[in-house]
A and B are shown apart, each in its own frame.
Chain A
């Protein structure tokens, strides 16, 4: 019995001590409104690949220690699931680009996060938390051929407030950035030159 207690203490005590010093995990979550825009007469297949679905950004402290793990992959998928059906006549989710051809769609959309940046008040000396995200958006034909490839950036900020934790503030700034992505994407999609030409040729 004494041995068991000793073993448990040997494992649990260091684990408890380490957990107090470890990085905080922030899973971005929020709700997104449906865009109030006209639909394009297109059927679209969307591919959320693993890099998007499992996207996690790690923020390091000034001493190089891991400070925050920010998981935003799922929230991006929820965002696209909210905005795409409002933008297109029909949207189907497929697991891979190759499946798009069999789905009988006009185009395949593949969104990806290229870069994620976080600015904390403790480092910037400003009274705001800021999130900046860079995306690469790809639109392919149903056969998987290139149609368009464009870069979008989104930005979100939230002011510092008393009694609001850093994790909550990071989440709030990220949600503002995701809304920014949704608004830019929804309003600029048909203006991307290659997409505009493709739509005109249909």
Chain B
């Protein structure tokens, strides 16, 4: 009911352009990607990569959905890479890649590959590169409020909410053949989401994590394929 009154008093003239502006600005995500190459890369058709999430930090961890998303991106297209699913790799390698036992430096791979079972499993998967992804998405600057009312004549919401999402991820690429780190790619994506509610809430969501995944995946693919 309040929403109808809002439009009748003429404020709708302001509300229209405001909504249009919101629709245009929402979903705008700014993404930056940084690449640091330490060595040559390249991959044969029989070789594969595995993407693993770092989960050593205390109060947060890299989401397995994000890791899966990056993996799907790497596997896409004509030049798609063969990607070993994270959980399949972790289970087959158990207990060597658990949060407490996983190697933290590429040099530690050499020590790990001395274990016959580890070397055999790695060879069975054909893993040439291990990509460690570390990061998270956080929501900042949440402002506004939306209230909803249910009355015998109907129901509706009125208000406005806005928040900013910031996704920050770093990928470290290890060469399993040479036991060294060949590079790092980091991505940082930020975006403002809006939710105006005039009778019904209209979510205008910035796809921050999806954009970070897409840009990181594309960059990783071209990095691994080589140069």
B22 to nearest A CB, angstroms?
A: 23
B202 to nearest A CB, angstroms?
A: 19
Name the one of A34, A126, A155, A184 contacting B94, with C-beta atoms under 8 angstroms: A34
Chain A residues positioned under 8 Å from B63 (CB to CB)? 159
- Return the chain B residue nearest A82 by Cβ: B94
- Asked if B60 and A183 sit within 8 Å, CB to CB, the answer is no
Name the one of A35, A36, A38, A183 contacting B100, with C-beta atoms under 8 angstroms: A183
Chain A residues positioned under 8 Å from B116 (CB to CB)? 38
- Asked if A159 and B61 sit within 8 Å, CB to CB, the answer is yes
Name the one of B59, B60, B99, B118 contacting A36, with C-beta atoms under 8 angstroms: B118
- Asked if B95 and A38 sit within 8 Å, CB to CB, the answer is no
B residues 59-83 near A (Cβ < 8 Å) are 59-61, 63
- Asked if A35 and B95 sit within 8 Å, CB to CB, the answer is yes
> Complex formed: what's the CA distance from A155 to B98 in Å?
11
Chain B residues positioned under 8 Å from A157 (CB to CB)? 61
- Asked if A36 and B121 sit within 8 Å, CB to CB, the answer is yes
Interface centre among B92, B100, B117, B121 (most CB of A within 10 A): B100
The answer, yes or no, to whether B101 is at the interface (CB within 8 Å) is yes
- Asked if B94 and A36 sit within 8 Å, CB to CB, the answer is yes
B59 to nearest A CB, angstroms?
A: 5
The answer, yes or no, to whether A199 is at the interface (CB within 8 Å) is no
- Asked if B59 and A126 sit within 8 Å, CB to CB, the answer is yes
> Complex formed: what's the CA distance from A176 to B64 in Å?
13
Chain A residues positioned under 8 Å from B121 (CB to CB)? 36
| Contact count band on A | 20 to 34
> Complex formed: what's the CA distance from A66 to B43 in Å?
56
Chain A residues positioned under 8 Å from B92 (CB to CB)? 33, 36
Contact with B along A17-52 (1 / 0, CB 8 A): 000000000000000011111100000000000000
> Complex formed: what's the CA distance from A176 to B59 in Å?
15
- Asked if B59 and A33 sit within 8 Å, CB to CB, the answer is no
* Residues of A that sit less than 8 Å from B by CB: 33-38, 126-128, 155, 157, 159, 176, 179-180, 182-184, 186-187
Q: List 9 A-B contacts (CB under 8 A).
A: A36-B92, A36-B118, A37-B115, A155-B100, A157-B61, A179-B98, A180-B100, A184-B100, A184-B101
Taking A159-B60, A159-B61, A183-B98 as known contacts, 19 extra A-B pairs with beta carbons closer than 8 A to each other, sorted by chain A number, are A33-B90, A35-B95, A36-B92, A36-B96, A37-B117, A38-B116, A38-B117, A128-B59, A128-B61, A159-B63, A179-B95, A180-B98, A180-B99, A182-B94, A182-B95, A183-B100, A183-B101, A184-B100, A187-B101
* Residues of B that sit less than 8 Å from A by CB: 59-61, 63, 90-96, 98-101, 115-118, 121
Please name the 9 residue pairs, one residue from A and one from B, whose CB atoms are nearest each other, closest first: A183-B95, A33-B91, A33-B94, A183-B98, A36-B117, A126-B59, A186-B95, A183-B101, A35-B95
